[in-house]
């Protein structure tokens, strides 16, 4: 057979099995193997492409071999890869939510199965529940370099953000400080409470960001006014993974009456040393970003000497959490957050190293196709990649690869709206780059099944052959 381009070789297999699904499973520099499936999902044959020039764009195929029904042309490793490739899609959306760590579930289970209410102090069940909640509070406080009494449990970072911002309305009215600074790339859990503050008569400035996806401290400094009540800047952006200069901003505000809040949903348990150093007045955290349960988070409200706590409750009834956040604390969830925090404190260095290795592999795989990394790579968290593929529609890509990989093209809270990313827009990217952007965020299990990511890249080439790298 004369040498033919890669896509032509695949077309030859497809023509041999009209109406069937042809899927590449795995390969190396010298070959790729795959299977042919009937519409009902039955595997009817397999094939192998012998690649003479793997570095060509597209690769040049020297031989196409098709096996009969029940035969598989690949090696045992490729058969194993095929089995993995036909399980659930490879999950690459850890910034939306992480899976629950089985070790966390194990410590939570007893609290689901026994009466537990930390507010019931008249019997041993309540006393044990309170001890468990306070232990979890200490674990969160230790991670933040704070005191346990400064940590208030909430339902998650969204509620924490609302409490940190809207809870200052009364303090702002009383002190005459009615100006707030934030950034144009904040999560909607910050931007929408800020909109509400404008309705209450507060002035809000949203600082622009650079094309690298971060705000300059000097920009914040220029926006400061004598009546600035609050500066709220996220620690890392949820769409791009770009770390913001929160330590520099905290230094700018040191000694002033302006409060500093950071949404640390994406960095709690990951940027451990930086968060311990950070002297923010308020920090929002969430459990389900660090392999803990959904439905629990916390707000750190740091003391300023003997000053009265400026944040006021948004709800009333019961007086739990020292009157700031009423409602029965879910003991099992609090224990889960505490255990997830404890494990993160022990394992974050190895998790970071693993993420860096996996990132390097993903970048090597991405070299097969034309792409742009969105955001300054030097400031990006190791487990996040926001990538644009020129000429490719991200929605079409996600639909075409939904059985292979689970990714997103924006925040999980706004992905149903199909609006252009306000984050990438604020970075000044053009419409084409925004429309073709995909967020890839991963955890340790992804390294075992990268064959699926490579198969997804093949679909990119099929959707738009023009994105093949030179």
Quick: pLDDT tens for 322-356.
Answer: 879 988 899 999 999 999 999 999 999 999 999 99
Shared-domain flag, residues 48 and 172: no
The CATH number given to whatever domain includes residue 65 is 3.10.450
Shared-domain flag, residues 204 and 235: yes
Backbone angles phi, psi at 412, to 5 degrees: -65, -25
**152 closest CA partner among 365, 321, 403, 22:** 321
Shared-domain flag, residues 10 and 154: no
Give a yes or no: residue 354 inside a domain.
no
Per residue in 443-466, pLDDT (tens digit) is 876 654 566 677 777 777 666 655
In which domain, by residue range, is 16 found?
1-87
Give a yes or no: residue 196 inside a domain.
yes
Look up residue 466 and give its DSSP letter: G
Domain closes at, from 344, 375, 401:
344
Mean pLDDT for all residues in the chain = 87
Give a yes or no: residue 155 inside a domain.
yes
Residue appearing with tokens 């006393």 = 127
Give a yes or no: residue 226 inside a domain.
yes
Active-site annotation holds for 413? yes
Residue appearing with tokens 């070790």 = 103
pLDDT at 87: 58
Shared-domain flag, residues 291 and 240: yes
Distance CA 423, CA 418 (A): 14
Shared-domain flag, residues 33 and 131: no
Shared-domain flag, residues 143 and 33: no
The CATH number given to whatever domain includes residue 201 is 3.40.640.10
Residue 85 has pLDDT above 70, yes or no: no
Residues 6 or more apart in contact with residue 302 via CB below 8 angstroms: 146, 150, 279, 280, 281, 282, 283
Give a yes or no: residue 157 inside a domain.
yes
Shared-domain flag, residues 81 and 139: no
Domain closes at, from 344, 377, 402:
344
Contact (CB, 8 A) for 90 and 406: yes
Shared-domain flag, residues 74 and 114: no
Pick the catalytic residue: 25, 73, 380, 413? Answer: 413
Domain closes at, from 292, 311, 344:
344
Lowest pLDDT segment from 31-45, 211-225, 387-401, 426-440: 31-45
Give a yes or no: residue 361 inside a domain.
no
Shared-domain flag, residues 186 and 325: yes
Give a yes or no: residue 259 inside a domain.
yes
pLDDT at 70: 44
pTM score: 0.80
Give a yes or no: residue 431 inside a domain.
no
Percent of the chain with pLDDT over 70: 87
Any idea how long the chain is? 470
> Which has more pLDDT, 57 or 233?
233
Shared-domain flag, residues 249 and 212: yes
Residues 6 or more apart in contact with residue 127 via CB below 8 angstroms: 121
Percent of the chain with pLDDT over 90: 58
Shared-domain flag, residues 3 and 73: yes
Average pLDDT score over residue span 382-403:
90
Could you give the number of structural domains in the chain? 2
Shared-domain flag, residues 54 and 153: no
């Amino acid at each position: 057979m004369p040498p033919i381009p890669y896509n032509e070789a695949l077309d030859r297999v497809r023509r041999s099995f009209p109406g069937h699904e042809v899927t590449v499973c795995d390969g190396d520099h010298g070959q790729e193997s795959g299977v042919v499936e009937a519409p009902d999902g039955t595997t009817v044959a397999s094939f192998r492409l012998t690649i003479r020039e793997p570095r060509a764009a597209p690769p040049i195929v020297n031989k196409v071999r098709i096996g009969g029904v029940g035969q598989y042309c690949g090696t045992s490793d490729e058969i194993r890869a095929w089995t993995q490739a036909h399980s659930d899609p490879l999950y690459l959306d850890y910034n939306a939510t992480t899976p629950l760590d089985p070790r966390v579930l194990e410590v939570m289970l007893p609290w689901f199965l026994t009466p537990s209410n930390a507010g019931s102090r008249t019997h041993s069940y309540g006393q044990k529940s309170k001890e468990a909640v306070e232990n979890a509070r200490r674990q969160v406080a230790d991670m933040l370099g704070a005191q346990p009494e400064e940590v208030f449990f909430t339902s998650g970072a969204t509620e924490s953000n609302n409490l940190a911002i809207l809870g200052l309305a009364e303090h702002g009215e009383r002190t005459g400080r009615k100006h707030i600074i934030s950034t144009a790339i904040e999560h909607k859990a910050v931007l929408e409470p800020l909109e509400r503050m404008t309705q209450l008569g507060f002035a809000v400035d949203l600082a622009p960001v650079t094309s690298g996806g971060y705000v300059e401290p000097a920009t914040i400094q220029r926006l400061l006014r004598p009546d600035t009540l609050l500066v709220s800047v996220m620690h890392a952006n949820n769409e791009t993974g770009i770390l913001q200069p929160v330590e520099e901003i905290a230094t700018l505000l040191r000694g002033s009456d302006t409060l500093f809040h950071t949404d640390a949903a994406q960095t709690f348990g990951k940027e451990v040393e930086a968060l311990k150093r950070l002297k923010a007045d308020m920090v929002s955290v969430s459990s389900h970003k660090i392999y803990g349960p959904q439905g629990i988070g916390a707000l750190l409200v740091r003391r300023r000497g003997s000053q009265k706590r400026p944040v006021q409750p948004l709800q009333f009834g019961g007086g739990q959490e020292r009157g700031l956040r009423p409602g029965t604390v879910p003991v099992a969830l609090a224990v889960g957050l505490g255990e997830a925090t404890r494990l993160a404190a022990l394992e974050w260095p190895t998790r970071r190293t693993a993420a860096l290795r996996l990132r390097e592999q993903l970048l090597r795989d991405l070299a097969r196709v034309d792409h742009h990394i969105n955001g300054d790579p030097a400031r990006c968290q190791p487990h996040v990649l926001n990538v644009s593929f020129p000429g490719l529609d991200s929605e079409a890509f996600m639909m075409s690869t939904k059985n292979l990989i689970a990714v997103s093209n924006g925040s999980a809270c706004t992905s149903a709206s199909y609006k252009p990313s306000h984050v990438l827009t604020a970075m000044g990217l053009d419409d084409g780059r925004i429309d073709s952007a995909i967020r890839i965020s991963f955890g340790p299990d992804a390294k075992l099944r990268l064959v699926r990511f490579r198969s997804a890249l093949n679909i990119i080439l099929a959707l738009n052959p023009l994105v093949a790298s030179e």
